[in-house]
Amino acid sequence: MVNSHARSDVSSVGPTPSGGPSTALLARALGASPVPTAVLDAGAGLRVVWSNAALDAATGYHPGDLAGVDVLADPRVRVPDPATLRDALREGVAFSPRVVLRRADGAHVPCEAHLAPVDGPTWVVALEDLRALRSERAEHVARVAAEQRERRALALVSRVSDLVMDVDEPHALREIAALLAGEVVAWAGFYLDDRGLWAADGLDPRRPSVRSRPASAHAPGTDPVGDLLAGRVTGPVELDLGAPAPAGSSTAWLVDQLVDGLGEATDGAAPLVLAVPGRRRTVGLLVVRPRGEGGAAGLDAPTRTVLDLTARRVGLSVDNVRLYDREHRLAETLQRAMLPEQGEVDGLDVWTYYSPNGDDAQVGGDWYDVLQLGPDTVGVVVGDVVGHDVEAAAAMGQLRSVVRSSVADATDAGHALDRVDHLVAGMRVPRPASMVLSVLERSAGAWRAGLARAGHLPVLLVREGEASLLQGTGGPLVGFGGGGRSADVVDLLPGDVLVYYTDGLVERRDRSLRDGLAVLVGVAAQVTARDAAGIGEELLARLADAPEDDVAVVVVRVPHDHDDRRGWPSPRQRRWRLPSEPASIARARHAVLRTCQAWDLPDASNAELVVSELVANAVLHGWGHVSLQLHDTGDGLRVEVEDANPTPPVTTDGHPGRVGGFGMTIVERLADWGWRPSRAGKVVWARVRPGALPRPGGEGS
């Protein structure tokens, strides 16, 4: 609304350029503008000659109340620097000073006055309310800050996802906890639950020695951590470290852990406990201490989102690792029960080896069997079932049982394979398989081998430095023979070597199978070892350093009557792949005793004790498979034990309260030892010192 006095004043402001809008139109436009605007006369002071309705509304005065007001003298207008304002008016230059207007209701409104000369002493001023501007700027800053927090939260969740993708990283959870502590909370830690809680560094399913007992039932509300694990509450749970908790409860154990672990860091906000959910149950806990004193209420929305997504992604990864571990253990147990231990065979030097492909499920369908069928009869079988899973291992077990029953009373390999075909045809074996079956018979001191193949690679014969493949008569895969399988017969001479193998020994992505067989023949012809184990180790060293499939190998050598193994220049080496279970300790001790006896090494008891302690450490403190290797270096026995835990072993410091570490003290007394990192984890090596076991307090102790 514009008063009549203002309209009459503004209509007299200068002429309108030819062809432009009329003065009356300009007056109506300024009057309708939502921007508080006034026309001022700087001829005598700085008087208001016209104001629009927006200015009247902004100040709360009635139309006409501001007409004639001298801005520089009126108490309702405060100009912080009048002298500067007057100088600018004299110079006739547009400028924007800060002023404070007192509204009709008494409120003071800070404004920015945008002054510009129009004609002579006439000026126009537009007022901008700084309160609204500041509010808009504050909202903008708040929006930018919120967007930055959300971006940081998304980046943090992305980094967490990258960490949980690497399930083999032993300290993944520790790194995620450190990441949370550095970005959104004051402290964080993970505790996994599987028949008891334990502080977790990684996603691996190993069982640590320090953990809580499985939580028992307590009165509702007295064990909030147990309720969270059982899914009775959704959390997060605010944990009072000073409040009593039922003895033996999950809450009591966690409080003890936090008090011992946090120390002075327990001052401040109470820890919050969040569930780490798996697919069907809670697999653990994420414990955080918020920054400040606000507790759970002090967590903003992005922080809550980060913690929730982190807990869910960690839970899914832990669940995946546990599912894989259970399937892996099932398959390994099944396969270990089916693969035979190498036994002694009368009249033959036999060496066997099996290794699953480490890049797959570490279990497959390759297998071997060496059977003493009679005093002068030996059966040797090597087979390959397609696949690397539980189904392949189960199919392998079925076939192995059928083969054992078929060859038990057979003297002809072809007839035995016919019987296998007949039995397999009536079974529901889910996977195709290949096989080579041989029966070795001794007559008048000489050995003869009958070989029957069912879609398998030919057996390799090495005789006096010449290697050849016994192609002979092949045939279709197991179960598809249809009867009439024939066997090739080979008369063996002293010193002859037969090598049975699966395709993992020779097949590679960068070469054909035919080229792989040619390489095998060339390598076998250059082998310098004279015993079956040495020959097998040389073949593995040159052909199977990085196998792309399962490898099963059986080496059978017909010995000479005058063999003296002590003078053989063979690279004497043995290797075993053992499951991470206590029974492997006894197997390793038996293996080293048998090897020392075969190599005619003295003081086998020292080597047995060293191997026992190293394998026990790998089983108790490591995880994954345990690899044992023995090397005859010429001046002693070198032992290497590998497991997937990269943490090096330590010796005890002699403190009476110390638990563990004494095994390495025993190793130190008997051997020079050390360790090195490996691709899978670490290798602990020991060079056994010759001589009898030193006696405490005696010479050499």
Q: Residues 65, 10: one domain? A: yes
Q: What pLDDT does residue 701 have?
A: 31
Q: What pLDDT does residue 212 have?
A: 63
Q: What pLDDT does residue 215 have?
A: 60
Residue 158 lies in a domain: no
458 has a pLDDT exceeding 90: yes
Amino acid identity, position 113: A
C-alpha–C-alpha distance, residues 207 and 631, integer Å: 32
Average pLDDT over residues 154-169: 75
Q: Residues 544, 566: one domain? A: yes
472 dihedral zone (left: phi>0; alpha: psi -120 to 50; beta)? left
Q: Residues 371, 466: one domain? A: yes
Q: Residues 129, 240: one domain? A: no
Q: Residues 458, 603: one domain? A: no
Q: Residues 469, 380: one domain? A: yes
Of residues 426 and 413, which shows the higher confidence score? 413
Of residues 85 and 470, which shows the higher confidence score? 470
> Under a CB-based contact definition with an 8 Å cutoff, are residues 393 and 329 in contact?
no
pLDDT digits (tens, 9 = 90+) for 542-585: 887 656 677 889 999 998 876 655 444 445 677 777 777 888 88
CATH, residue 603: 3.30.565.10
Q: Residues 486, 388: one domain? A: yes
Q: Residues 198, 82: one domain? A: no
438 has a pLDDT exceeding 90: yes
Q: What pLDDT does residue 4 have?
A: 38
Average pLDDT over residues 239-254: 84
Cβ atoms < 10 Å from Cβ of 443: 8
Residue 338 lies in a domain: no
Helix residue ranges per DSSP H, 206-300: 224-230, 250-262
Q: Identify the domain boundary among 83, 109, 133.
A: 133
Q: Residues 110, 194: one domain? A: no
> Under a CB-based contact definition with an 8 Å cutoff, are residues 248 and 216 in contact?
yes
| Element at 102 (helix H, strand E) | strand 98-102
Q: What pLDDT does residue 463 have?
A: 94
Q: Residues 428, 481: one domain? A: yes
Residue 655 lies in a domain: yes
Q: What pLDDT does residue 547 have?
A: 62
pLDDT digits (tens, 9 = 90+) for 67-110: 888 888 888 888 888 888 888 888 888 888 888 888 888 888 88
Residue 335 lies in a domain: no
Count how many domains the chain has: 4
Among 574, 477, 592, 581, residue whose Cα is nearest residue 535: 574
Cβ atoms < 10 Å from Cβ of 26: 15
C-alpha–C-alpha distance, residues 453 and 417, integer Å: 8
Q: Residues 541, 594: one domain? A: no
61 has a pLDDT exceeding 50: yes
Pair of tokens at residue 372: 């003493």
Binning pLDDT at 50, 70 and 90, where does residue 691 land? Answer: low
Residue 144 lies in a domain: no
Residue 303 lies in a domain: yes
375 has a pLDDT exceeding 70: yes
- Provide the mean pLDDT of the chain: 80
Q: What pLDDT does residue 213 have?
A: 61
pLDDT digits (tens, 9 = 90+) for 257-298: 888 766 544 556 788 999 999 888 888 899 988 887 666 666
- Give the domain range for residue 73: 4-133
Pair of tokens at residue 667: 């190793």
Cβ atoms < 10 Å from Cβ of 523: 17
> Under a CB-based contact definition with an 8 Å cutoff, are residues 535 and 559 in contact?
no
Q: Residues 608, 669: one domain? A: yes
638 has a pLDDT exceeding 60: yes
439 has a pLDDT exceeding 50: yes
Q: Identify the domain boundary among 518, 547, 570.
A: 570
Of residues 522 and 354, which shows the higher confidence score? 522
Cis ω on the peptide bond leading into residue 236 (within 30° of 0)? Answer: yes
Average pLDDT over residues 637-654: 79
